[in-house]
Amino acid sequence: MKRQQVLLGSTILLLVVGIIRWVWSGWGLITVEVNDKPLAEIIRSIEKQAGIVLKTNMDTAKPVTMHVRKVPLTEAIETLGERTDSRWRVGYFFAPDAGAVKGALDTISGGKRPEGWKNFEVPLFGRPGGGESAVRMDPRRDVWNVKEPAEKTLHGFLQAAATGVSASFACPDEFNPAVGKMPPSGAIGKAAPKLAQAAGAQFQEVFLLMGRPMGMADEEGGRDDESGPGRPPGGAGGGRDRGRRTDRELMKARTLAEIEKLPAAEQPAARAEFEEQEKFFASVRELPEGERRPKIEEHFSQPGMMDKMQERRLGAEERKSPDQRLQRYEKYVQRKQQVKGAANK
């Protein structure tokens, strides 16, 4: 009898361990298997599975087909972005009270920009050191190496954070309290609440799925071929030329901050590659459009550049539906025909 009890206890223990291992193996992974279901339903499912807040400015009644099984959160959102022709990012919203944060997020969900809010975001094009991936890392884990900004206020620290990590930050224009204690360096998902505490602010971490154009992330105005948005992040003004200069300075700082995160042995090569890119774009910046664009196209057609872009393109194509791929191909053919027709005139 005693032996049977021991065997029964051992069997139960093995079953419990097996269940725990099964649950743990899928912990934090996302499964969405739907055909023509409203976007709102998919968003709720991802929020529940990942324990996050996910907002969008798109029509949430839009039917979406999506099939992912036990994938990381970023891959699930990346796939949803491809299926809805949208882009995503992680945003941190700071305000004097929770009501102001909720009001801003409700405004974004309604397809508008919150009035009187300042946006801090510095895009990073490519990954220093060649670490290209079709699926981005979780921006919440991106390390912010905190350095004291010249302006020791919430806005000053938010601009510094935007220059150091792959996330966006937003705050009311008129809310800019002093920050007496620097937050510790570390993952931005843990550093952001420390910054809010030091500034006496309320904050919310949000995944933003933004239909193109990207709402708050896009500013009106032109684009530099090499530097993204034509106006600087954070709402800085001063005219188009000044905006481009500010943009380049911020993006340079953003890239250098990313290089500092690489292993020490990889930093010299990454810095040399970055300086080579800087030198090239400086050499073509003042050329007439007719000369500048062919040189840029030639530069990006180099085998190494082509391989990186092709890797990203294939990853994105795999997450599109067959109908999306067909539509993309038809648009490509139409553009080719238009270019050919213009050349024959």
pLDDT band at 132 (very low <50, low <70, confident <90, very high): very low
Higher-pLDDT residue of 34, 292: 34
The pLDDT score that the predictor gives to residue 201 is: 97
The dihedrals phi and psi of 243, each to the nearest 5 degrees, come to -60, -45
pLDDT digits (tens, 9 = 90+) for 266-279: 989 988 988 888 88
pLDDT band at 78 (very low <50, low <70, confident <90, very high): very high
Residue 258: closest CA among 135, 144, 120:
144
The pLDDT score that the predictor gives to residue 285 is: 82
- Supply 38's token pair: 């409203």
Amino acid in the structure at residue 168? S
The pLDDT score that the predictor gives to residue 317 is: 55
Q: Are the C-beta atoms of residues 105 and 204 closer than 8 Å to each other?
A: yes
Quickly count helices (H) and strands (E) in the chain.
11, 11
pLDDT digits (tens, 9 = 90+) for 163-208: 999 999 999 999 999 998 999 999 999 999 999 999 999 999 999 9
The mean pLDDT of 27-52, rounded to a whole number, is: 94
pTM of the full structure: 0.71
The pLDDT score that the predictor gives to residue 19 is: 41
The mean pLDDT of 10-31, rounded to a whole number, is: 53
Q: Is 219 helix (H, G, I), strand (E, B) or coil?
A: coil
Residue 87 has pLDDT above 80, yes or no: yes
The pLDDT score that the predictor gives to residue 281 is: 83
**Cis, bond preceding 322 (omega within 30 deg of 0):** no
Average of per-residue pLDDT values in the chain = 78
The pLDDT score that the predictor gives to residue 72 is: 96
The pLDDT score that the predictor gives to residue 261 is: 87
The pLDDT score that the predictor gives to residue 340 is: 58
Instruction: Tell me the C-alpha to C-alpha distance, in Å, between residue 134 and each of 23, 182, 272, 275.
Output: 27, 34, 24, 25
Q: What b-and-e string marks burial along 168-189, b requiring 16 or more CB atoms within 10 Å of the CB? A: bbbbbeebbeebeebbeeeebb
pLDDT band at 344 (very low <50, low <70, confident <90, very high): low
The pLDDT score that the predictor gives to residue 73 is: 96
Residue 104 has pLDDT above 90, yes or no: yes
The dihedrals phi and psi of 166, each to the nearest 5 degrees, come to -90, 65
Q: Any idea of the CA torsion for 258, 170, 233, 178, to the nearest 10 degrees? A: -80
β-pairing, 168-172 vs 223-224, is: unpaired
pLDDT digits (tens, 9 = 90+) for 212-258: 654 343 333 333 333 332 233 333 333 444 455 568 888 888 888 88
d(CA 270, CA 128) in angstroms, rounded, equals 6
- Supply 29's token pair: 């992974």
For the chain, state the CA radius of gyration: 23
pLDDT band at 21 (very low <50, low <70, confident <90, very high): very low
